[in-house]
Structure 1
């Protein structure tokens, strides 16, 4: 079994401050014995508007935030999953990126969010992520880690079960969703979606999250959690705006037992559904 940590905090537009918070959480998780830590989407910053987002975004190689996380991972010999903003070829749009960093401080996988959050909800959020973000064009194969094979996604990807299923078919043991869920959608959908992805794919689900008021326009739901393949919530961060951690064991023997007892993948009617969905 592997001991892991999920992080929850409230990012601002102050990148240096956000880096300090993340490094402190990483060091605390290491002191508790975690082999890997999972940070939220947009851990580097949350800006007040799209113009500020564009002005703050850097390339991965030139990002002091990314370099600081890599250095901390190497120092503590920890694996890291983290969401950041990434510079693109388009001067008016960026990538929403999920990085996987190993215990040597090396980036071993880069996933760009496939599904962009363009919504207009009555009495709720009105957001147009595609205004300043380019959608990704590639599903990353699950990556071997000390925990098991990790499938990388970001936030709104959670609502598209075919992506999680594709990663499961490719060998994922764990599905990851670094997120910045809104309060309205989080209250209604967050837990049920995470548990559904865990149950239907018989995978662990690890969902780190932003929480609290980032600025006058943005408030995030929080409730970062780890769910096992049976749909049981193993760990959940507290409802506080203060930076926090939650911990759980990833038990691949339990995962294999659940898949053996209810062999869903063997029962799927691939003869009837396109691509086996």
Structure 2
């Protein structure tokens, strides 16, 4: 599988972001890529909730989704759109942080709503309450592609290994983890957590990330990674935006799983017995 990783610095103009993604799709297609990956919140990244409320739409009205689907069909490649903010008909008015798998005809093959929401107070003084704006997803989602069954997740999901256990139990051999990681948490945990997910699953991990200074004032960590099932980093994009092509030998999945059969050796885990 020839994968294109588009590390980007999304801003507050959906039209500009859509144009950037479409351009990356056409470049990736010209370079022979089979599939292109984008980060979380690829279409719109904004902490100003009042301004965001004026620009976030449902799927039917989302210009990023429509232009990416059109570009995928023109280039003849698959696209994993890391996530978009999508308005739904929820009574509480909260949005969804939704990931899309789009095929080479521009059809949406799968959707995944981020399950674990980032509600934290950082030691650096930053505070995030994703659940005040977004509703959590409820379904674990894997999707079949011409190359592998891929398990979908988004950013903060990375910290919850039970999700990846469920995905690999469902047959996923490539784990997708698009993100917009903060710099402090990225420096501390990004590489080690992603390598752990790859090693424990015996799976490839593709983690396409936001990077740099954004129009809303935030700074994201970057370092989009591709990691093989042995836990070796085969691509680290550092902090610069751009497209990188990575050729993946998916035969390595079976090789690693035969050497360390952790998936085959799994057993159901019951509740802990507590002695006092």
What TM-score do you get using the length of structure 2 for normalisation?
Answer: 0.94
Match of residue 247 from structure 1? 245
Match of residue 131 from structure 1? 132
1:66 aligned to 2:65?
yes
Please show how residues 141-180 of structure 1 align to structure 2 within 5 Å: 142-180=142-180
Paired residues of 1:13 and 1:48 also in contact (CA < 8 A) = no
* 1:83-119 per-position Cα deviation (integer Å, ceiling 9, x unaligned): 1111111363100000000000000101000000000
Query: In the TM superposition, what is the alpha-carbon distance from 1:38 to its structure 2 partner?
Result: 0.4
Match of residue 3 from structure 2? 4
Match of residue 22 from structure 1? 21
Q: Secondary structure at the match of 1:266?
A: coil
Q: Secondary structure at the match of 2:230?
A: coil
- Mark the runs of 5 or more structure 2 residues left unpaired by the alignment: none
- Seen in structure 2, the aligned counterparts of structure 1 residues 215 and 48 have a Cα distance that, compared at 3 Å, is farther
- Distance in 2, matches of 1:51 and 1:136, equals 23
- Distance in 1, matches of 2:62 and 2:16, equals 14
Paired residues of 2:48 and 2:216 also in contact (CA < 8 A) = no
Q: Secondary structure at the match of 1:188?
A: helix
- Distance in 1, matches of 2:196 and 2:159, equals 10
Query: In the TM superposition, what is the alpha-carbon distance from 1:272 to its structure 2 partner?
Result: 5.4
1:103 aligned to 2:104?
yes
What TM-score do you get using the length of structure 1 for normalisation?
Answer: 0.93
- Distance in 1, matches of 2:51 and 2:221, equals 22
- Distance in 1, matches of 2:146 and 2:2, equals 10
